[in-house]
Structure 1
Amino acid sequence: MEIIIKQPQIYRFLKYCNESGLEKTVLDCGAGGDLPPLFLFSGNGYKTYGIEISISQLDKAEAFSKKHNVNLNISKGDIRKLPFEDESISFIYSYGTIFHMKKEDIGRAIEEIKRVLKPGGMCLINFLTTKDGDYNKGEKLGEGEFLQIERGDTVIHSYVKDDEADKYFEDMKVLFKEDRVLYRIYEGRKIKQGYVDYIAEKLCKE
């Protein structure tokens, strides 16, 4: 049975990666869960690496790997301090993860991603936007930052305004950007989700 990854944007990123010609190494920052997207890359011949800060999410990824007899190289780690050498990974993505921290830490995390990326390498990063239905709810921590309840846990959600996240990619070449609003049924209720996705390339040194 074919396994379908839940995030269609991962398939788009894989297409960009396949067309780049760089060595097939990929890092997922926030790689845990019961259906790790790294599985898609592994099946396409990539050497995979993943970091995950949540033990419970790590356990789910490990159970998936054992069930499907695959080693995705997912370990405990923090996106703000990646355990990889400078310019050592061709492709890095953080999807549905980086907005679970304050904006100051988001900046640190993206600098780490850029440090580890090879010249000509690409990253995929998505952000929550102020168009999201949960924006401005919960305990406010800072501008666009809130403590909110998600699946019974208290988590940080940071939201960006129109083009606010562009600043993180000023020293890169943005290959793709999509600002989108989704309406879907979640746990029996209609919800509104706002995201902006970026695929960006690290410029080669002159």
Structure 2
Amino acid sequence: MKTFDDMWEQVHSEMEWGKYPCEEVIRFVARNYYKSNRENVKLLDFGCGTGAVAWYVAREGFNTYGFDGSETAIKKAKVRMKEEHVSADLIVADAGKLPYDDEFFDGIIDSAVIYANKIEQIPDILKEIHRVLKNGGKIFSTGLFNKETTGFGTGEDLGNNTYRELTEGALAHRGTVHFFTVDEVKTL
């Protein structure tokens, strides 16, 4: 099952996207991993795009990995890593079938990736996250949008509060968007 929406290849081909991580990601990493032996901590930038999170955690000395479905995004991320003299293992992959060993990562950072799928695909993605995350590992996730988010109900209706190609708001023309209910978040 493929979870990657090819629209993201177009987005990354046509525009610059995501150079720096959000403040919440920095707080998550600092609170959970700064006191650790950083080179022994494996962190995954889940759906890394052009590598904003990967760049930051690599710069901070962590053992850094990232994947994205967009070849263009991965190419851009690798160029940035090289230019800024940091190292990260970056690959093209799909969130529904990760090419990592079981219990491999100490932490996984999802900067608005899980939402970009149909609700039927999200449990499979979460199973993969659980599989590759070490026992006691942590996940940080952003982008769990709800019906109050601008653009809800616009674009192609895929059913179950999922739309493709929204016509309004910050998520317009960004492929598939699932709008979560509180009950869905609790269940997932």
- One fold, TM greater than 0.5? yes
Residues 20 and 74 of structure 1: CA distance in aligned 2, closer, same or farther (over 3 Å): same
Secondary structure, aligned partner of 1:135: coil
Unaligned regions of 5+ residues in structure 2, if any? 1-18
Deviation of the 1:27 alpha carbon: 0.7
Number of residue pairs the alignment of both structures matches: 164
How many percent identity over aligned positions?
A: 24
Structure-2 residue corresponding to 1:106: 122
Secondary structure, aligned partner of 1:104: coil
* Structure number having the greater helix percentage: 2
Structure-2 residue corresponding to 1:129: 146
TM, length-normalised to structure 2: 0.78
Distance in 2 (alpha carbons) for counterparts of 1:109 and 1:159: 16
Unaligned regions of 5+ residues in structure 1, if any? 169-206
Distance in 1 (alpha carbons) for counterparts of 2:171 and 2:139: 28
Secondary structure, aligned partner of 1:133: coil
Distance in 2 (alpha carbons) for counterparts of 1:70 and 1:21: 19
Deviations 1:147-205 (A, max 9, x none): 1158885611111023421222xxxxxxxxxxxxxxxxxxxxxxxxxxxxxxxxxxxxx
Structure-2 residue corresponding to 1:14: 29
Deviation of the 1:137 alpha carbon: 1.0
* Structure number having the greater strand percentage: 1
Q: How does 1:24-63 map to 2 (within 5 A)?
A: 24-33=41-50, 36-63=52-79
- The worse-fitting range, judged by mean Cα deviation, of 158-167 and 100-109 is 158-167
Structure-2 residue corresponding to 1:181: none
